[in-house]
Structure 1
Amino acid sequence: MIEAWDGPTEVGDTFEIKKKHEEYIVKKLESKRITHFYCSEFYGEHVSQALGAVNRLVDSARKTFSISGTKVRQDPYTFRNYLCPDVYRDLITNVVFLGAPSTGKTTIASQLAKEYKTVWMPEYGREYWEKHQINRRLSLSQLVEIAKGHLEREETLLLQANQYLFTDTNALTTYQFSLYYHKTVAPELAKLAHQAISRYDLVFLCDTDTPYDNTWDRSGEANRKIFQKQIKSELIIRKIPFFSLDGELNTRIDFVKQILARYQKYQNLLDSFSF
């Protein structure tokens, strides 16, 4: 697989267009020896000649596989089975929701996944904590296991997602819990938290202006407010762009949907939005 971010975008069979493509491919391959060139398109002949390779025309009538690169580009999510998993994963917009406990992250992520007909990533830390906590505490190494386990599941879901993956928390949350309970962070967890800076396409911080659900696994509304300030501070210090979500549930969901409607992956986020 060759990445061609700066490749020519014109298509056609004119001399000028073919020359641009040939020169780009030859330069991209540098001194690599190509013996055979396989494709189902007209350009197989002239590209093969440019490479000094044997032209192998395959299923040009699309009888064996009724698919083409054009179809895949138009709807890569429908035709995901024709894409390399690494390529498909990179097409998914990973949306993460952060915030203190009881700020609506789970509800928002699951609801959006339902509306967009995709999957969502539940907070693995909650599941792990319920199984392994002793006196409501976890060790430093267990917190590392949470961050790693969350990422493993997230990676699996990225390949199952349809355009978006809605993720409930990430390693930054686990990082903050480690500081809260142990006043320190294991080096491996610190590394995973740092990787979170560039891992997610869109980050939403859920505000605390919602009723506090005081379940047995939470540490009180006062701690919720402190934890919220710490998470927001962490985002600012690490220079992670984020959107704030406040108001009632439907207001928050509608705001996220507005952002998604305007967001195009690989474009400058700050240039794309103005509010």
Structure 2
Amino acid sequence: MKRYGHGLVLGKFYPPHAGHHHLVRTARDHCERLTVLVCASSVETLTLEDRVAWMREIHPDVLVVGAVDDIPVDLQDPDVWAAHMAVFRAAVPDSVDAVFTSEPYGEELGRRFGADSVCVDPDRTLHPVSGTAVRKDPVGNWDFLEPPVRAALTRRVVVLGAESTGTTTLALALADHYRRRGGVWSRTRYVPEYGREYSELKLAELRAERPDAEWSDVTFRSGDFPVIARRQAELEDEAAREGSPVLICDTDAFATTIWHERYMGTTSPDTREIAAHGRQHLWILTDHDGVAFEDDGMRDGEHLRPWMTARFVTELARSGRRTAVVTGPREERLATAVAAVDALLAEGWPLADPLPERR
């Protein structure tokens, strides 16, 4: 294949998938420099900013720019073509030597840019996938997606509750349940509670100074909780990039806001701000009623369990978070949780159709 000075790849990347990445990498290998133009319409669900960020992460060696293009698609109308080209030229003002596409409109696009048109795998034999297919069935096309896209599409489930109410036990059981479904689900990830690790570190640090120190000697400060919430969110995002279409989390930044109240007696604006940027979809609350309190050496709040459960219920409702409360024996709790997660997954992914093509 001929080598070019400046190449262009143009598309919606809604969302970007393996076929898109093959196109970009092929173009990059045959150009001195390459520009990728991401065009998004305002009716689409995934934001232009996200798509540009994803493409920049996946292709750090090319220039990725974005443009909003709300002009209807009509490949037979020269006026519509001219309007689209005005958008394209504004986003990519430099001259273009070659346009790389996998679409029938590639020839006309190249002509209007005054550039060669290079067609790459038009029959999608190397990567049998399309944006339409991904939007229709993300699960069936999960392996065609890169980590940042998977992280954005993963349905995130949080298990939370007061001390010694079985949150960790349920979260682990949920993750195992979905792994047992096999296929893409076998990669279902579990995110542990970072607050527990943080607490163990605080106790260890105290015992380094005072070997006889007990859990009751550990002191928390308000500044500890944003640290916990931020790291919890980071662990969640890391797991979502590598797992299945569902992620099971043992607590989250929102739960940390309640733990701040429990230890400090007040709310934490910084922790609430972190929680406000979360991308979770379902919260499963473990009720304390009927669950024996087990002191593992780092618990001291049996008398606070009713209060904490009530605070979780109140704040989950106030903030409009989708919630399922689980009660009863362990098997019943798991069954209730699975039903809630399955209902979430059955709703699919609300990805709006792009602007229709006029024919």
- Asked which structure has the greater CA Rg, the reply is 2
The residue that corresponds to 2:75 in the other structure is 18
CA distance in 2, matches of 1:217, 1:175: 19
Name the SS of the counterpart of 1:78 in structure 2. Answer: helix
Correspondences of 1:4-83 after superposition (within 5 Å): 4=41, 6=43, 18-19=75-76, 26=85, 29=88, 31-33=90-92, 35=96, 36-49=98-111, 53-60=115-122, 66-70=126-130, 73=134, 75-80=140-145, 83=146
Residue type of the alignment partner of 2:234: E
CA distance in 2, matches of 1:165, 1:31: 40
Q: 2:172 aligns with which of 86, 110, 113?
A: 110
Residue type of the alignment partner of 1:79: F
CA distance in 1, matches of 2:345, 2:83: 34
CA distance in 2, matches of 1:27, 1:106: 55
Gaps of 5+ in 2: 1-37, 45-72, 179-185, 207-216, 352-359
Q: 2:152 aligns with which of 62, 69, 90?
A: 90
Correspondences of 1:109-258 after superposition (within 5 Å): 109-116=171-178, 117=186, 118-133=188-203, 135-196=217-278, 199-215=279-295, 216-247=297-328, 248-258=332-342
The residue that corresponds to 1:264 in the other structure is 348
CA contact (8 A) 1:103 1:210 kept: no
Identity %: 25
Gaps of 5+ in 1: 8-15, 268-275
Greater displacement, 165-174 / 255-264 = 255-264
The residue that corresponds to 1:13 in the other structure is none
CA distance in 1, matches of 2:154, 2:223: 31
CA contact (8 A) 1:214 1:220 kept: no
Q: TM-score, normalised by structure 2?
A: 0.61
Name the SS of the counterpart of 1:190 in structure 2. Answer: helix
How far residue 88 of structure 1 moved from its aligned partner, in angstroms, is 2.5
Greater displacement, 220-229 / 237-246 = 237-246
Q: Deviations over 1:33-56 (max 9, x none)?
A: 373421233332234345555312
- Distance 1:150-1:50 versus aligned 2 partners, 3 A rule: same
Larger strand proportion of the pair: 2
Indicate the RMSD between aligned Cα atoms, in angstroms.
3.1
CA contact (8 A) 1:109 1:167 kept: yes
CA distance in 1, matches of 2:113, 2:282: 42
CA contact (8 A) 1:212 1:221 kept: no
Name the SS of the counterpart of 2:292 in structure 1. Answer: coil
How far residue 243 of structure 1 moved from its aligned partner, in angstroms, is 2.3
